Amino acid sequence: MIMIIIFVGWLMWRRSLLTALICLTTLGSLVSCSQNRQDTKEEVKIVATFLPVYLFTRGVTGDIPVEILITPNKEVHDYQATPGNARTVAEANILVKNGLGIEEFLEKLIGGNSQLTQIDASEGIEPIVEEEDEEKGEHAHHHEEEDEEQGEHAHHHHHEEGDPHVWLDPVLAQKQVTNIRDGLIAANPANEETYRTNGDAYIAQLQELDREFAAKLAPVKGCKFMVFHDAFAYLAQRYGLEQIAILGTPEDNMTPADIQKVLNLANSNQVKVFLAEPGVEDKRLEQIAKESGLPVETLDPLESGETDPQYYFRVMKQNLASLEKACK
Ligand SMILES: [Zn+2]
């Protein structure tokens, strides 16, 4: 009898041991499964500074999340960093920026994170610098006079490093996406395949966009278009157009004499359409349009808007349509 109890007891102990072993094995594989997932998708924290670099970075990362520092309804020029921005940068592994001095606010933020990998999307791009404006003669002269009157705003907008608005040229945008793709692969090789596949597809879309711009703007080479935000110098240079900028930034005040100067400038350059930044409420623009009798179309510098990576292409196609109207 005692023997039987001991035998059954031994059997039960063996069974529970077996169960325990199975549990351990199962747990072990669960733990290793979740570790694998972290290695590929979740371990890296990527931050992009403002809308165009965010769109390009998301175009490369696909499903891998990217945080944006400047919420898309805020102006990047003269941006002041928030405590939330400081926390985000402190926790990030990789920071993607446009470069060329547009993200001045970063200087105060990046010092605290010595592990941070920075990707400068404009690396290797030859910037358009202020001196070139002087060669253009009168427009540049006029432009500079106004810049002086505007003081700090204008000063902020024209950086020593050159014009930062490279993302608005579909060819330089390809270079930026290439820089972002290669920078992400170097910093986070575990996701190389994802970055390469998505990045190459996005670059192919940019190449197609460039072909569309080149084809539609070729017949109007030399056209002068008039803008309020001087963000389109690279685009103009690429397709043989000329940007005439009214002001450094759209928010600055204009006197009646300034308005008259704009009307004279429009007249002497046979401008047929004014191009304004969408979403910027501007009484002066209405007044200028009314007094000149010229229509106003939108030309979007893509510094704010939607966060879908395809948004870049939608807006650029609208910009192309506006330029065609302005150059008709
Ligand atoms: Zn700008």
Task: Quickly state the pLDDT bin for 255 (edges 50, 70, 90).
Answer: confident
State mean pLDDT over 277-297: 81
Q: Which range has the worst mean pLDDT, 147-161, 206-220, 291-305? A: 147-161
Which of the four pLDDT bands, split at 50, 70 and 90, describes residue 104? very high
Percent of the chain at pLDDT > 70 equals: 75
Res 148: pLDDT: 39
Confidence of residue 252 (pLDDT cuts 50, 70, 90): low
pLDDT value of residue 247:
60
Q: Which segment of 19-33, 48-62, 283-297 scores lowest on mean pLDDT?
A: 19-33
Predicted confidence band of residue 97 (pLDDT cuts 50, 70, 90)? very high
- Tell me how far apart the alpha carbons of residues 79 and 108 are, in angstroms, rounded to a whole number: 12
Give per-residue pLDDT as tens, 2-40: 554 444 445 455 544 444 444 344 444 443 333 343 444
Q: What is the whole-number distance in angstroms between the Cα of residue 230 and the centre of ligand 1?
A: 7
How much distance in Å is there from the Cα of 299 to the middle of ligand 1? 12
Entry pTM: 0.79
Contacts of 210 (CB under 8 A, 6+ apart): 170, 171, 174
Q: Are 48 and 66 in contact (CB under 8 A)?
A: yes
Give 196 Cα–ligand 1 centroid separation in angstroms.
29
Give me ligand 1 centre to Cα 3, in Å.
89
Question: How far does residue 32's CA lie from ligand 1's centre (Å)?
Answer: 47
Å from CA of 161 to ligand 1 middle: 14
Q: What are the φ/ψ torsions at residue 162 (nearest 5 degrees)?
A: 115, 180
Res 156: pLDDT? 40
Residue 323 has pLDDT above 80, yes or no: yes
All structural domains of the chain, each given as residue ranges with its CATH number in brackets, are 46-121+170-205 (3.40.50.1980), 131-152+220-326 (3.40.50.1980)
pLDDT-derived band at 72, boundaries 50, 70, 90? confident
Q: Return the higher-pLDDT residue of 21 and 189.
A: 189
Which residues sit with Cβ closer than 5 angstroms to ligand 1, an ion?
Answer: 231
- DSSP lists the bridge partners of residue 265 as none
> What is the rounded average pLDDT for all residues in the chain?
81
CA of 232 to the centre of ligand 1 (A): 9
Q: How far is the CA of 79 from the centre of ligand 1 (A)?
A: 12
- Residue 107 Cα, ligand 1 centroid: separation in angstroms? 19
pLDDT in tens, 120-143: 999 999 999 965 444 443 343 333
Residue 310 CA to chain centroid, in angstroms? Answer: 12
Q: Is the pLDDT of residue 288 over 60?
A: yes
Rounded distance between C-alpha atoms, residue 52 and residue 226, angstroms: 23
The token pair at 302 is: 């893509």
Give 85 Cα–ligand 1 centroid separation in angstroms: 21
Split at pLDDT 50, 70, 90, the class of 92 is very high
